Amino acid sequence: MWALIKKEIRSFLSSVIAYVVIAVFLLLTGLFMWGFPGSLNVLDQGYAVLDTLFYVAPWVFMFLVPAVTMRSFSEEKRTGTIELLFTRPLSDLQIIFSKYIGAVVLVLLSILPTLFYFYSVYVLASPIGNVDIGGTIGSYLGLFFLAAGFASVGIFSSAISDNQVVAFILALFLCFFCYSGLDQIASFELFGALDRFVQKLSIAEHYDSMSRGVIDTRDVVYFLSLSGIFVVLTKTVLQSRRWR
């Protein structure tokens, strides 16, 4: 399994898309934080905070993570190598986890350079170092879990279709629905007492909770469950090929 994980990581890092994704993520978040004038600009705000990064990043990842994962199984299906892949002495779950972990590693490599933003804010603070370290750590953990959840959605979408564009669009829709859609549905107050339950199913609800700097085990369990559910769904989709 570790050999396959290394292969997936090498595959990502040897392709242009990995560096494009990292560059686009850093460019967009950097522009909103330091370039574009307005309320999101750190210098215009007058406060040494990273709120802009953690507000913009989920929306950027909503597009970039599906772009990374769309070829995971779609490309294998299109080229006909998926059958060869499943002849390896590995279980379906091990193969899925290998591709999933490869995508998560790329996400992590995208997030790590933003520590430079934290350093910049740390230095700009008055006095130096007057930043909410606990809130920042919680926000980074929340962002990582959110992106890992998006990666599981993208892997699932890639397993459904052999068309990468279809896989991308489906993953984009599911990520948006899980992040903001459920929250919007709950705001309509259509289900009475169940509205709060629907809101609790939203990624944004748990991401915002972690961004406050309080690492609640319920939020961690939620994100682990989200990834687990879509990994299992991916396994079900791939196994269905044997029922045909």
pTM of this structure = 0.90
Residues 6 or more apart in contact with residue 28 via CB below 8 angstroms:
56, 60
pLDDT (tens digit per residue) in 172-185? 999 999 998 888 88
Q: Which of 7-21, 144-158, 169-183 has the lowest mean pLDDT?
A: 7-21
Residue 14 has pLDDT above 90, yes or no: no
Question: Sorting pLDDT into bands at 50, 70 and 90, what band is 133?
Answer: confident
Read off the pLDDT of each residue in 130-153 and give the average, rounded to a whole number.
89
Two tokens at 187?
A: 């705001």
Question: Sorting pLDDT into bands at 50, 70 and 90, what band is 228?
Answer: very high
Read off the pLDDT of each residue in 91-106 and give the average, rounded to a whole number.
87
Give kind and range of the element (H or E) at residue 53. helix 51-69
Read off the pLDDT of each residue in 120-136 and give the average, rounded to a whole number.
80
Read off the pLDDT of each residue in 181-192 and give the average, rounded to a whole number.
78
Most confident of 27-31, 49-53, 191-195: 27-31
Question: Sorting pLDDT into bands at 50, 70 and 90, what band is 147?
Answer: very high
Q: Which residue has the tokens 């309320």?
A: 39
- Each domain of the chain, given as residue ranges in start order, spans 2-242
Q: Say what the pLDDT of residue 83 is.
A: 67
Residue 101 has pLDDT above 80, yes or no: yes
Q: What angle do CA 227, 230, 231 make, to 5 degrees?
A: 80
Two tokens at 174?
A: 């599911």
Residue 7 has pLDDT above 80, yes or no: no
Residue 225 has pLDDT above 90, yes or no: yes
Q: Say what the pLDDT of residue 242 is.
A: 55
User: How far is CA 154 from each of CA 96, 122, 242, rounded to the nearest angstrom?
Assistant: 12, 34, 22
Q: Say what the pLDDT of residue 37 is.
A: 81
In angstroms, the CA 167 to CA 173 distance is 10
pLDDT (tens digit per residue) in 56-90? 999 999 999 998 888 888 877 777 677 677 667 77
Residue 117 has pLDDT above 70, yes or no: yes
